A and B are shown apart, each in its own frame.
Chain A
Amino acid sequence: MTTAVQSDLREQAAQRFAQLGWPTPELEEWKFTNLAPIERIEWRADDGAARASQKTGVVSLRGQALAELVFSNGRFVDAAGAAPGLEILPISQAASHPMFDRHYARYADYQRHALTALNTANAQDGAFIVVRDGATLDGFIHLLFIGAGDAIWSHPRNLIVVGRGAQVAVVETFYGDGNYFTNAVTEIVAGESSVVDHYRIERESIDAFHVGTVQIHQERASHVTSRHIALGGGLVRNEVNVALAGEGANLTLDGLFVLADSQHIDNHTVIDHVKPHCDSLELYKGILDDKSRGIFDGLIIVRPDAQKTNSRQVNRNLLLSETAIIDSKPTLEIQNDDVKCSHGSTIGQLDEEAMFYLRARGISESEARSLLIYAFASEIVDRMKIDAVKENIRAAMFRRIPKGLPERRSATR
């Protein structure tokens, strides 16, 4: 990534990060999450030596995906698959593509967001995807980001441009082993009347740090479903910002975060209704065990011009221990009268009656517990459209639920 535009941008972003500095809990948007543990570490980029030991087999969806790109510590390692109407390549090789300058870094705002600035300044690679106008891809694209090693950071950067009337499903998976830091930014441009099904599956190592920013720009009558599953990572911040920037656009934003031990996962979402007649439906579900802490901080903005907005925001949480903490802050900011909006959040425990019912039929206490926990999550998982992804999430959840433990992988590298 070394065009003139690129190096200018990098420099500007680096300067901006120097000005902004690491966000601190004094900032309203960061009041629940302190990045000091990340800031303290002397990070370095992967020079190729510490590259993940290609343990991609467990999470690779090659064979099932139309196309798959694999990155290790932010560096491109592997590509497979192709489809008519689809261009997919490492973003490091995309600088001369006409779509690149038009869209790159136009949505994720490095002026305002420090971590986006850090990413823009340091990004090595990521996926560049263009789906041509009218192309309907029958299948899904998989982007796999493997992290490995200690004190290594990476800044994966993806740009997905979906043409007018095109249809695509993209799955991002983050997985790894070690005490690394992933700071990923994905920009998605949903063209007019396009249909986008986006999955972001965060299954980082329990010792890893993860900051993810997904920036979605929706044009007229586009339909986007974006699903955010967070299972791994010690300290995690996931930001999703969506601009409903064309009339009649439709967004479904689903989230599921499952925490144990002392995991900390902060979900921060902003849905910006810019234009009239747009619908957004947001549902985030949290499952928290042990001493974990989860956050749902969701803002819906309805701009003065966005009449006939239809918006619903719900956050539901299941607390499995007395020491787990959830902060839920659903917020509506409505700047016009002609809207239908609702929001709410709930916090509950496992249903004792249901527990007894299952046990009274011979099911063990621990299995009854997992069944009920899984049932809580199933609302999000069941409506996923890709069976391979569903199965992976089910398996990952079941593996950790019986003991309430997060995914722990041995530190053999």
Chain B
Amino acid sequence: MLDVKNLHAGIDGKEILHGLDLHVGTGEVHAIMGPNGSGKSTLANVLAGRPRFEVTAGTVTFEGKDLLSMAPEDRAREGLFLAMQYPVEIPGVNNIYFLKAALNAIRKNRGEEELDAMEFLQLAREKMKLVDLDESFMNRGVNEGFSGGEKKRNEIFQMAVLDPKLAVLDETDSGLDIDALKIVANGVNTLRSEKHSVLVITHYQRLLKYLVPDYVHVLADGRIVKSGGKELAEELERRGYEWIEQEVAAAR
């Protein structure tokens, strides 16, 4: 599904990722954990193609295609989805109109028929239930006036509607109460299947209780420094990151 090799990337001339390798297979759930400022969001943004982030070396292939040469919209159309750490408010752009336009652009790329307004509404209603978002949110501006938790749920709602092959969730669990956390995990678990992969960036083991990962990676100082199974997350929760940093230092 996703193959990241020796990725060097940064912003404004400052390198943040210093040779990152990551392989996500089809149907797998990977968690990335790591200290603040280690480059987790940078990785997510580079994958999604955010302008201003520059890739200086390395390759990323997604479903066999060169991801880095694609425009952000083409990455989305190929099936990549990024649930952002800080979803932006866009007053004046209607939430539901926007999502319908997005879905139809993606469907068109897949060679599927565009959905008409009725079909789309039906789908949207179904997915809103899944994330327990009230229908009144549909007719507001994108994220306009949404609370922190509502923004996160809106990201998961969009993900559920767009049905991506690979969903990258950048701290979607931060700022969520325990019920919302379950809802988000439930949304992701619904997507999870042998065809869909998920990359979860998180600081907390608590999400991983509901959303059990196949692999856990530690990102520190712009590299994946340790990988393991779900027990690694538990160990990190208990012991913090320091021991890993010492391990890494010792190995150098």
- Tell me if chain B binds chain A: yes
- Using CB atoms and an 8 Å cutoff, list the residues of chain A in contact with chain B: 351-354, 356-365, 367-368, 371-372, 374-376, 378-379
- Of B71, B81, B103, B158, the contact of A359 (CB 8 Å cutoff): B71
Contact A362 B91 (CB under 8 A): no
Q: Which residues of B contact A365 (CB under 8 A)?
A: 71, 73
In the bound assembly, the distance between CA atoms of A371 and B87 in angstroms comes to 17
In the bound assembly, the distance between CA atoms of A378 and B142 in angstroms comes to 14
Contact B50 A363 (CB under 8 A): no
In the bound assembly, the distance between CA atoms of A2 and B196 in angstroms comes to 80
Contact A357 B88 (CB under 8 A): yes
Contact B72 A360 (CB under 8 A): yes
Contact A351 B93 (CB under 8 A): no
Q: From residue B227, how far is it (CB to closest CB) to chain A in Å?
A: 27
Contact A353 B102 (CB under 8 A): no
A360-B49, A360-B82 as given contacts; A371 in contact with B93, CB under 8 Å: yes
The secondary structure that dominates the A interface is helix
Contact A364 B51 (CB under 8 A): no
**Residue picked from B48, B51, B92, most chain A C-beta under 10 Å:** B92
Q: From residue A352, how far is it (CB to closest CB) to chain B in Å?
A: 7
Q: From residue B125, how far is it (CB to closest CB) to chain A in Å?
A: 19
Can you list, as one digit per residue, whether each of B34-78 has a CB less than 8 Å from chain A (1) or not (0)?
000000000000001111100000000000000000011101110
A365-B71, A371-B98 as given contacts; A360 in contact with B76, CB under 8 Å: yes
Q: B31 on the interface (CB 8 Å rule)?
A: no
Contact B92 A379 (CB under 8 A): yes
Size bracket of the B interface: 20 to 34
Q: From residue A377, how far is it (CB to closest CB) to chain B in Å?
A: 8
In the bound assembly, the distance between CA atoms of A198 and B197 in angstroms comes to 56
- Of B76, B91, B92, the contact of A361 (CB 8 Å cutoff): B76
Those of B123-176 within 8 Å (CB) of chain A? 141-142, 158, 162
A360-B82, A362-B162, A371-B98 as given contacts; A354 in contact with B90, CB under 8 Å: yes
Contact B49 A358 (CB under 8 A): no
A357-B84, A372-B90, A375-B91 as given contacts; A362 in contact with B51, CB under 8 Å: no
- Of A359, A362, A364, A375, the contact of B93 (CB 8 Å cutoff): A375
Contact B73 A362 (CB under 8 A): yes
Q: Which residues of A contact B24 (CB under 8 A)?
A: none
Q: Which residues of A contact B141 (CB under 8 A)?
A: 375
Q: From residue B59, how far is it (CB to closest CB) to chain A in Å?
A: 21
- Of B51, B101, B162, the contact of A356 (CB 8 Å cutoff): B51
**Residue picked from B71, B87, B93, B141, most chain A C-beta under 10 Å:** B93
Contact B105 A352 (CB under 8 A): no
Contact A362 B106 (CB under 8 A): yes
Q: B99 on the interface (CB 8 Å rule)?
A: yes
Q: Which residues of B contact A361 (CB under 8 A)?
A: 73, 76, 81, 98-99, 102, 158, 162
Please name the residue on chain A nearest to B105 by beta carbon.
A362
Q: From residue A90, how far is it (CB to closest CB) to chain B in Å?
A: 40
Q: From residue B160, how far is it (CB to closest CB) to chain A in Å?
A: 13
In the bound assembly, the distance between CA atoms of A287 and B226 in angstroms comes to 51
Contact B76 A353 (CB under 8 A): no
Q: Which residues of B contact A356 (CB under 8 A)?
A: 50-51, 72
In the bound assembly, the distance between CA atoms of A372 and B101 in angstroms comes to 14
Q: Which residues of B contact A379 (CB under 8 A)?
A: 92
Q: From residue B25, how far is it (CB to closest CB) to chain A in Å?
A: 23
Q: Which residues of B contact A363 (CB under 8 A)?
A: 73, 98, 101-102, 105
Contact B90 A358 (CB under 8 A): yes
In the bound assembly, the distance between CA atoms of A372 and B98 in angstroms comes to 11
In the bound assembly, the distance between CA atoms of A365 and B109 in angstroms comes to 15
In the bound assembly, the distance between CA atoms of A360 and B80 in angstroms comes to 9
Q: From residue A202, how far is it (CB to closest CB) to chain B in Å?
A: 23
Complex A-B, nearest 8 residue pairs according to Cβ-Cβ distance, in ascending order: A375-B92, A362-B76, A361-B102, A359-B72, A378-B92, A362-B105, A353-B88, A359-B73
Please name the residue on chain B nearest to A352 by beta carbon.
B51
A354-B88, A354-B90 as given contacts; A362 in contact with B77, CB under 8 Å: yes
Identify 26 residue pairs between A and B in the complex whose beta-carbon atoms are under 8 Å apart, listed by A's number.
A351-B88, A351-B90, A352-B52, A353-B88, A356-B50, A356-B51, A356-B72, A357-B84, A357-B88, A357-B90, A358-B90, A359-B72, A360-B49, A360-B82, A360-B84, A361-B98, A362-B103, A362-B105, A362-B106, A362-B162, A367-B101, A371-B93, A372-B90, A374-B92, A375-B92, A376-B92
Q: Which residues of A contact B162 (CB under 8 A)?
A: 361-362
In the bound assembly, the distance between CA atoms of A353 and B87 in angstroms comes to 9
Q: Which residues of A contact B92 (CB under 8 A)?
A: 372, 374-376, 378-379
Contact B98 A358 (CB under 8 A): yes
Please name the residue on chain A nearest to B103 by beta carbon.
A362
Contact A362 B90 (CB under 8 A): no
Q: From residue A269, how far is it (CB to closest CB) to chain B in Å?
A: 24
In the bound assembly, the distance between CA atoms of A356 and B86 in angstroms comes to 12
In the bound assembly, the distance between CA atoms of A354 and B72 in angstroms comes to 13
Q: Which residues of A contact B99 (CB under 8 A)?
A: 361
In the bound assembly, the distance between CA atoms of A353 and B50 in angstroms comes to 9
Q: Which residues of A contact B51 (CB under 8 A)?
A: 352, 356
Q: Which residues of B contact A362 (CB under 8 A)?
A: 73, 76-77, 102-103, 105-106, 109, 162
Contact B87 A357 (CB under 8 A): yes
In the bound assembly, the distance between CA atoms of A354 and B87 in angstroms comes to 9
Can you list, as one digit per residue, whether each of B188-224 has a CB less than 8 Å from chain A (1) or not (0)?
0000000000000000000000000000000000000
Q: From residue B149, how far is it (CB to closest CB) to chain A in Å?
A: 18
Please name the residue on chain A nearest to B159 by beta carbon.
A361
Q: From residue A193, how far is it (CB to closest CB) to chain B in Å?
A: 34
Contact A358 B93 (CB under 8 A): yes
Other 13 A-B pairs with CB < 8 A, given A362-B103, A362-B162: A351-B88, A356-B51, A356-B72, A358-B98, A360-B50, A360-B73, A360-B76, A362-B76, A363-B73, A368-B73, A371-B98, A374-B93, A378-B92
Q: From residue B152, how far is it (CB to closest CB) to chain A in Å?
A: 14
In the bound assembly, the distance between CA atoms of A356 and B88 in angstroms comes to 10
Q: Which residues of B contact A358 (CB under 8 A)?
A: 90, 93, 98, 102
